[in-house]
Chain A
Amino acid sequence: MGLFEKPKSIWSILNSRPITFYTSSFPLEKVGSSFFHGERFTSRPLTGEGAMASHTFLSLLLFYFYTFHLVHPIHCSVGSNAFDTTSAPQEEFSEELLLKPLPDYKVLAHFHFTSTSPPSSSNGQHHHLFPKSIAQLVKKYKIRELELSFTQGRWNYDRWGASDPLSTANGKPPGVELWALFDIPTKEEIDATWRNLTHSLSGLFCASINFLESSTSYSAPLWGFLPNNGDLRYGALPREAVCTENITPWLKLLPCRDKAGIASLLDRPSIYRGHYHSQRLKLRSDGLNGIVIEQTLSVVLQPIDRTSWSMHQLFKKSLMGKCALAKSSKVFLEIERSLVSQNENILELVGEADMVTNDQRDHSTIYQYNVERYSEHEALDIRVNWKKLLQVSFLQTPLHASRFLMGSGNERGSIAISLQSARNSTKGLYDNSKNCFTRVVIFQVVPWYVKVYYHTLRIYVDGAIRDAKDVVEKINVTPSEDKVSPGTLEMMLQFPCGMMSAALTLDFDKGFLHIDEYPPDANQGFDIPSALVSFPDFISRRIYPDSISSPLLQSYKGRNIVKSYTEVLLVPLTTPDFSMPYNVITFTCTVLALYFGSMVNVLRRRVSEEERLAKSKDKRKPGLIPLLISKISNKVRGIKEDSANQSQSSQPILGPKVVFKVVLIALIAVLGHYFFNSS
């Protein structure tokens, strides 16, 4: 953990500036490296001589840095290029923003920041633009690929599109989702690394990602999420709330933070007012390209005036020039064909675009604006006016997936996934021939306290129940283990193309948790994370002419599989009455006291002795007073002498004398009370 602690004072300078004068003859390598690993620096004992040497070295270093720190700004202003071009591959940063009007008059703003770090940095462990914390993360945990997303709200697949690359990438489940591919051979090591990774990320992003550490919360899908060799780990926290505390560390990874460039548009109140908010960090690392991070933020905003909006109105800030460190800085406006095809005049753009292109299949038009051209005096402000309001929908997924719970009560229920064909939008993709099949992959992780019986899988196609082996092409089930691991279901299904609707159901029992496993808000219910439904036969890609060089549009070209996340489910479980521990304690204590009392009594008694005693007592003559009492009581009850002797157990212990005494005392007490209160 010390690795990611915030460096302070002199060490911060050490960390953030490239150091070029390391090659002195001192045993620098070791000492130098220990500077960056605070833990080791303190834990490793230095020999006397070494300590002395390091002291003198430190003072030297301080001096050097001090001068360097003063000189550096001047050095930078001369031109960063001159400083960087010493080695061939460079660290690069580019910033982009894509605005897209949505059919329900909302606007999607997609911020896309890319930083790359070459594979073998000439600067060793030091970086110029690239965030150091991420580089260390990748190095330490041997991460090949990682994606972390913080999402609030739901991506509306019906209205905001489902099968274009932007929606496929944007649609994320609510809460936190994290997956990572590791470059580590053994399973145990991967699990251990994953645990460390969750803690590191949770510190980095101020979120409770560390809850993914427990083996009950993450899973290792083989092909349902992403084909891999068992080195993928996937976890989701549907209940994690997303707020500014998560975006601030995310912005810190950018070289200009939110002080300049496109990120300066990120006015917190405006972006958190949106209907959907998804902040992501995606990184890839390999020997060829080095490390690439894509930081994206997608927000769906509702303009105040539905018919006309501008960037300034949306963000309450103006874009005044680019981030000086960015290689490219562009704003795109993407207009879907379906929005403009009917009538060209339906939409009016104010502001002159630098370039206008269509994608290869003519699905959309892209207007490109280069931010470099704008400055404080002339801010970039794209304005869109709708002349007519119309209802259209964007490209849908071939099947609309929704998931829901069936049944009621605290004992059992079923999870159902229903797939409805969106026939009208994908007409071209379908033919009704017998041999045409659509493949659907379902990936679902279920916590252990929802005990799914996988053998109860029932599949209905077009209102008729189908044998599972006719429909299921491939299935991989990892049943849950109580308090150890969640249940994972990966399933590839094959449906005939002409199918209208399908549904699958899985029955489950609700488990019981131990009292200390309940969260503070147990009565809210427990979440089942979103399931992922993907369609491997459908690829979402858009190819733009090569004249546009943009990492964002480049990512559109990839063969992305169309996929959609389903809703998070809320399962009410039985909960103990937390508010009454007192009752429980008193009840149990009473029961225990009664139990022990009678138990001890029974153990202590010697029946034979008592009988003997009773017999000897019978022989003896009873005293005068007891005799009197028994006579009187027998008279009162009207029982004859001999029958009274017969039933000894029914002899009263309260004689009339005692009753009289009690009544007398009570009377005195009442009178006394009355007397004192009245006076």
Chain B
Amino acid sequence: MEVAEVEAEVEKKATATRSRLIVRLAALLVSYSTLVSVVCCLAGLIALLVLPLLAKNTYISENALLPGSANPVLSYQHVTQANNLILDIMNIADDKEAPDIEIPKLIAKYMEILGAETYHHKFSQPQNQFHPLYFFSTSPNSPPTLANLSYGTSTVGIIRAPRGDGKEAIVLVSPYNTQNAGGIDASASSIGLAFSVFSLLSRATWLAKDIIWVASDSRFGDHTSVSAWLNDYHNPNFIGDASSNRIFKRAGTMACGIVFKVVEKERREKYEDRDVVTMYAEASNGQMPNLDLLNVVHYLAVHRQGIRVRIGMFGGLVKSHLVRVLGEVMQQVGRFARSLNPDWRFEMPSSEYVEGTATLASSIYSQALGVPTGPHGAFRDYQVDAVTLELSPRFSLKNEHTRLAFLLKGGRLIEGTVRSVNNLLEKFHQSFFLYFLTAPNKFVSVGVYMIPFAFLVAPLPIIAASLFNLTSNRNPWRWLHTAKPLLITHTWSVVVTLLPFYISKISDLPSTHCMLTWAGGSLMALVILYIVFGSPYSKHVEWRLLKAVMIASVSIGLCLMSIINFATAQIGALFVVPMCLFALPIRVKTNNSLIRSMVMTCNLVMAVLGFPVTAVALMQGVIKGFGTVSILEFWDSMKFLWGWNSATYLYLVLVHLPCWLLFLHILFHPCR
């Protein structure tokens, strides 16, 4: 009898523990929250530093692309034709009084000789107006008023594919600038390069997609002309313009955009033994073109034309001692791991690690900024994959022979790329859209780069839960007391977001004044909110509860941002997560004075650095060097962000700023 009873007991106990496994695990995590959060944060930081080691080599994923399978047929004949155009443009730029009218005419004439359909596209400088309600829409739909403004003229030529059905098109864009007298050489060469490819394609029998060449007048910047043309292509305005017979021809859905320009660099400190092409891929809000497009360009440039490929890199980081030391450490660790097991091959030379880190930092930073790095960004707004190629020759373009050789090389690169994209049956979908680059041929895919962020964010809910458990109040709805301060901070952040709109309405204010007005307005709004809602420190608001709610709201904000722009969330997490974890009121009493003083020092440092203004200045200082950074430039950098409709601005003001304010609230909590 007794034995059976005991057995039954044991069985019941076993089932009871088994059924609560998940709950028990969670409880375990919560009870060891401090340890877990420290381990997770460290793991996150280490994973971030190890990312260059985890980068994989790129490969061409879409089989239909077949890059380099056909021999390039661009010949000296095409290039010499293009050279004639270059010479004509230079003559016009030197002699004629109005080169900005003559050059589009000349380009159109040359296009027509090839049998292309041509037209001119006129556009004006857009009003860079901040409008909070149109934040994510790219076109505020203001009808352009060409009459009273100065306008630019882009020339567009279309080649219809001989046997194609005209459903798809490949867009070639060559920006040129006639205003800039010094760069006319390079501008003319850009057009010449495009023309040589265009003349080849006008005779090509293998075309399946139409070719559009946009010689874009970049007097208002490269991006403006391209985005104006794309806007007219996708969202034409039928109202108005009855008198002028505006011709605008189209060629179907765009498959791909290739922007290329020739840039003649001043004699660098480093001797270049080859022509260099620099790829720019980041579009607005951290969007990237399909990796296959970059792969094709890289493959053709390196393996077919012998051109060196570069991507953006922070030169400052390469020289930084800290990164070098890290590189050495990584090398040693890799070597050690390899000595343990020859199959663990993540050893990397320290120089490679340093370069990879500098490139990765640049990649993350340009994605996090949310501002396109070139005219290709305008394409991405219409879901078209595009890349900007900046070709810089090894020798001067003044010499005709070297110029011809350079045009031939560059032209063949573009011909090959066009041919690959032309081979595509479907749009780019095979390869990655979410990635960071650590070298032109190395990438970190989304599955890998999410690990550091996940590690950084993971402790937040655990800490929030443990803090929630530790409060003396046992009411499950106790967090509602803290809703008031939370509401106040978030209302305030919304007010701060909208203030610049009204400030920018007041015209002719220098940026310093704008900045001060913004700061003053924000402070006033905060004071008014406190007066209206009352002090945030009411009787029931314990600091632990406040911290728990702050952490919860921040983790929601970070996760949302990681969906919109991952890189921003990644960098933001580096600032915000320590703030969330370390927050401790000054007046709180603890036993260990050493730990307390350390935590307090950290808190004070973070209170200063966590303020969005200083955080942005710090970021820019790390990236560009501290000499150039000034806090008063914050207004300008914010203006830059909303000018490009970057969600980073929203993140800074709607997630980061309330977090910082709540942090201050906790810091100065009375601890009754």
**Which segment, of B27-35, B87-95, B192-200, B476-484, faces chain A?**
B27-35
- Of the candidates B19, B247, B253, the one whose C-beta lies within 8 Å of that of A601 is B19
Q: Could you say which of B30, B250, B426, B427 contacts A404, with CB atoms under 8 Å apart?
A: B250
- Give chain B nearest CB distance to A577 CB in angstroms: 8
**B150 beta carbon closer than 8 Å to chain A:** no
| Interface flag for A570 (CB, 8 Å) | yes
On whether the beta carbons of B239 and A408 are closer than 8 Å, the reply is no
Task: Contacts A463-B240, A523-B427, A525-B253 given; indicate if A501 touches B245 (C-beta within 8 A).
Answer: yes
Contact B253 A572 (CB under 8 A): yes
**Which of A149-157, A213-221, A489-497 contacts the other chain?**
A149-157
- Name the B residues within 8 Å of A275 (CB-CB): 162-163
Do B16 and A610 touch (CB < 8 A)?
yes
Using Cβ atoms and an 8 Å threshold, which residues of chain A touch B426? 521-524
A500 near B245: Cβ-Cβ < 8 Å: yes
**Which residues of A, 133-155, contact B by the 8 Å Cβ criterion?**
152-154
B160: A residues at CB distance < 8 A: 154, 156
Among A259-309, those with CB < 8 Å from B are 273-277, 302
Residue ID in chain B nearest A404 by CB atoms: B250
Asked if A570 and B252 make an inter-chain contact with CB atoms under 8 angstroms apart, the answer reads yes
Query: Which A residues are CB-close (under 8 A) to B381?
Result: 408
Residues 193-216 of chain B: 1 if any A CB is under 8 Å from the residue's CB, otherwise 0? 000000000000100000000000
Residues of B near A406 (CB, < 8 A) are: 234-236
For B595, what are the chain A residues with a Cβ–Cβ distance below 8 Å? none
Known: A525-B427, A570-B253, A605-B19. A408 touches B383 (CB 8 A): yes
Give CA–CA (A652, B469) in the complex, Å: 16
Q: How far is the CB of A218 from chain B (nearest CB, A)?
A: 20
Q: How far is the CB of B473 from chain A (nearest CB, A)?
A: 14
Interface string of A641-675 (1 = CB under 8 A from B): 00000010111111000000000000000000110
Q: Which residue of B lies closest to A648 (CB)?
A: B27
Question: Is B425 in the interface zone, CB < 8 Å from A?
Answer: yes
Quick one: closest A residue to B32, CB to CB?
A: A652
Q: Which residues of A contact B205 (CB under 8 A)?
A: 273
The residue of chain A having its C-beta at the shortest distance from the C-beta of B384 within the complex is A408
Give A272's nearest chain B residue, CB to CB. Answer: B163
Q: Mark B421-434, 1 if CB is under 8 A from A, else 0.
A: 00001110110000
Partner of B12, one of A420, A463, A500, A613: A613
Residues of A499-535 whose CB lies within 8 A of B: 500-501, 503, 505, 521-525, 527
Among B28, B32, B163, point to the contact of A653 (Cβ < 8 A).
B28
* Interface pair A654/B28, CB less than 8 Å apart: yes
CB distance from B542 to the nearest CB of A (A): 17
Q: Which residue of A lies closest to B12 (CB)?
A: A613
Q: Are A154 and B165 in contact (CB under 8 A)?
A: yes
Kindly identify, within residues 296 to 354 of chain B, every residue whose CB is under 8 Å from any CB belonging to chain A: 340-342
Bitwise, B238-249 to A at CB < 8 A (1) or not (0) is: 111110010101
A569-B252 contact, Cβ under 8 Å, with A153-B162, A238-B165, A524-B426: yes
- Which residues of the other chain, B, contact A523 by a CB distance below 8 angstroms? 426-427, 429
Say yes or no for A19: interface residue by CB 8 A criterion.
no
State whether A154 and B166 are in contact (beta carbons under 8 Å apart), knowing that A572-B253, A649-B27, A673-B341 are contacts in the complex: yes
Any B CB within 8 A of the CB of A393: no
- Interface majority SS on B: helix, strand, loop or mixed? loop
A539–B482 CA distance with the chains assembled, in angstroms: 80
* Complex interface: chain B residues within 8 A of A521 (CB): 425-426
Given contacts A649-B23, A653-B24, A673-B341, contact A407 B165 (CB under 8 A): no
Check: A630 CB closer than 8 A to any chain B CB.
Answer: no
CB distance from A95 to the nearest CB of B (A): 26
Q: Are B165 and A175 in contact (CB under 8 A)?
A: yes
- State the CA gap A408–B31 with chains docked (Å): 50
**How many whole Å from B671's CB to the nearest CB in chain A?**
21
Q: Name which of B205, B236, B241 has the most chain A CB atoms within 10 A of its CB.
A: B236
In B22-79, the 8 Å CB interface with A consists of 23-24, 27-28, 30-32
Residues in chain A near residue B165, CB distance under 8 A: 153-154, 174-175, 238, 567-568
Query: What is the CA–CA distance of A234 and B227 in the complex, to the nearest angstrom?
Result: 40
B19: chain A residues at CB < 8 Å are 601, 605
Q: Is A465 interfacial (CB-CB < 8 Å)?
A: yes
Most buried by B among A273, A522, A523, A569: A523
Residues on B with C-beta less than 8 A from A615 are none
Contact B167 A527 (CB under 8 A): yes
B164 contacts which chain A residues (CB < 8 A)? 153-154
Min CB gap B631→A, angstroms: 39
CB-contact partner of A674 in B32, B166, B242, B340, under 8 A: B340
Given contacts A610-B16, A647-B469, contact A505 B163 (CB under 8 A): no
Residues in B whose Cβ lies below 8 Å from that of A273? 205
Which chain B residue has the least Cβ–Cβ distance from A152? B163
List A contacts of B13 (CB < 8 A).
Answer: 617
| Cα distance, A501 to B247, chains bound together (Å) | 10
Question: In chain B, residues 375-391, which have Cβ atoms closer than 8 Å to a Cβ of chain A?
Answer: 381-383
The CA of A214 and the CA of B147, in the complex, are separated in Å by 53
Question: Known: A154-B160, A404-B250. Is A569-B167 also a contact (CB below 8 A)?
Answer: yes
Once bound together, how far apart are the Cα atoms of A408 and B165, in whole Å?
Answer: 21
The answer for the CA separation of A647 and B27 in the assembled complex, in Å, is 10
A251 is an interface residue with CB less than 8 A from chain B: no
For window 251-281 of B, CB contacts with A under 8 Å fall at: 252-253
B17: chain A residues within 8 A (beta carbon):
653
Most buried by A among B27, B342, B382: B27
Using CB atoms, name the residue of chain A closest to B382: A408
With A153-B165, A567-B166, A650-B27 known to touch, is A464 a contact of B242 (CB < 8 Å)? yes
Residues in B with CB closer than 8 Å to A277 are: 163
Say how far B467's CB is from chain A's closest CB, in angstroms: 14
Q: Does A460 contact B (CB under 8 A)?
A: yes
B31 touches A650 (CB 8 A): yes
- On chain B, the residues within 8 Å of A79 by CB distance are none
- A601 CA to B17 CA, complexed, in Å: 12
B167 touches A460 (CB 8 A): no
Contacts of A457 in B (CB 8 A): none
Residue B292 interfacial (CB < 8 Å): no
Which residue of the partner chain, among B242, B253, B342, contacts A500 with CB atoms under 8 Å? B242
Residues of B with C-beta under 8 A to A302: 162
Once the chains bind, are B239 and A407 in contact (CB under 8 Å)?
no
Interface centre among A273, A501, A503 (most CB of B within 10 A): A501
Smallest CB separation, A109 vs chain B (Å): 16
Mark each residue of chain B from 144 to 179: 1 if its CB lies under 8 Å from any CB of chain A, else 0.
Answer: 000000000000000010111111100000000000
Whole-angstrom distance between the alpha carbons of A650 and B462 in the complex? 13
Interface check A677, CB cutoff 8 A: yes
Cβ-based interface call for A537 (8 A) = no
| Bound CA span A525–B239, Å | 30
B232 → chain A closest CB, angstroms: 11
Residue numbers in B under 8 Å from A464 (CB-CB): 239, 242
Interface string of B394-432 (1 = CB under 8 A from A): 000000000000000000000000000000011101100
16 A-B pairs whose Cβ atoms sit less than 8 Å apart in the complex: A153-B165, A238-B165, A274-B163, A462-B242, A463-B238, A463-B241, A505-B238, A523-B427, A525-B253, A613-B16, A617-B13, A647-B469, A649-B24, A652-B31, A654-B28, A677-B340
Q: State the B residues within 8 Å of A (CB).
A: 12-13, 16-17, 19, 23-24, 27-28, 30-32, 115, 117, 160, 162-168, 205, 234-236, 238-242, 245, 247, 249-250, 252-253, 340-342, 381-383, 425-427, 429-430, 469
Interface, chain A (partner B; CB < 8 A): 104, 152-154, 156, 158, 174-175, 238, 273-277, 302, 402, 404-410, 416, 420, 460, 462-465, 500-501, 503, 505, 521-525, 527, 567-572, 575, 579, 601, 605, 610, 613, 617, 637, 647, 649-654, 673-674, 677
Given A463-B239, A651-B27, 8 new contacts (CB under 8 A): A404-B252, A464-B242, A500-B242, A610-B16, A613-B12, A650-B27, A650-B28, A677-B340
Closest 8 CB pairs of A and B: A463-B242, A523-B426, A570-B167, A460-B238, A174-B165, A408-B382, A462-B242, A524-B426
